[in-house]
């Protein structure tokens, strides 16, 4: 849905704006990031995403295969069931990747290994939609164990 901005006499992109997802997104790239054993990185995007790619670049650290977990909520409180409910995507080998056509304002990447350092690259296509318009991604399939 677009919002009419009467001060400028133009429409602005909103969370339901179809055109914002049809056009090419603005690139956003992290490069390679090192992630300590057992650590979680939170990435907050400057605007709502259109598409996200995460690549496990574990071989750059030469530590062996490290499983990275990609999820949309923190693994600690208030959503401890992210892990218990398996609400994450595992990337368990070097150069394993995931492409997701999703709208979100943040994403989390966890190194599930207790002793090895991992690394990854994060690439996103951003829309022109303000991140404050994005709703929280919670509930079944994201933060709760099925049946609760």
Residue carrying structure tokens 């070097």 = 94
- According to the model, what pLDDT value does residue 139 have? 80
Residue 96 corresponds to which tokens in the numbers above? 């394993």
| b/e burial code for range 12-28 (CB count within 10 A of at least 16 → b) | ebeeebeebbeeebeeb
How high is the pLDDT of residue 1?
43
Position 138 scores a pLDDT of 83
Domain range list for the chain = 25-133
37 token code pair: 């054993």
> Which superfamily does CATH assign the domain made up of 25-133 to?
Jelly Rolls (2.60.120.10)
- Of residues 11, 9, 148, 17, the one with CA closest to residue 84: 148
* Cα end-to-end distance, the chain, whole Å: 33
Q: Measure the CA–CA gap between 109 and 39, rounded to whole angstroms.
A: 8
Per-residue pLDDT of the chain (148 residues; tens, 9 = 90+): 445 555 565 667 788 888 888 888 999 999 888 999 999 999 999 999 999 999 999 876 555 678 999 999 988 765 567 888 888 999 988 889 999 999 999 999 999 887 888 999 999 999 999 999 998 888 887 877 765 4
């Amino acid at each position: 849905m677009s919002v009419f901005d009467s001060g400028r006499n133009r429409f602005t992109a909103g969370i339901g704006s179809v055109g914002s997802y049809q056009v090419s997104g603005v690139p956003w790239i992290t490069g390679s990031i090192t992630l300590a054993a057992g650590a979680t990185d939170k990435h907050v995007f400057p605007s709502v995403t259109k598409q996200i790619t995460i690549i496990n670049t574990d071989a750059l650290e030469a530590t062996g295969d490290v499983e990275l977990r990609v999820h949309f909520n923190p693994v600690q409180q208030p959503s401890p069931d992210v892990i218990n409910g398996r609400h994450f995507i595992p990337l368990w080998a070097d150069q394993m990747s995931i492409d997701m056509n999703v709208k979100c304002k943040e994403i989390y990447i966890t190194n599930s290994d207790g002793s090895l350092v991992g690394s990854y690259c994060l690439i996103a296509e951003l829309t022109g939609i303000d991140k404050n318009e994005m709703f929280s991604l919670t509930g079944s399939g994201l933060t709760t164990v099925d049946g609760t």
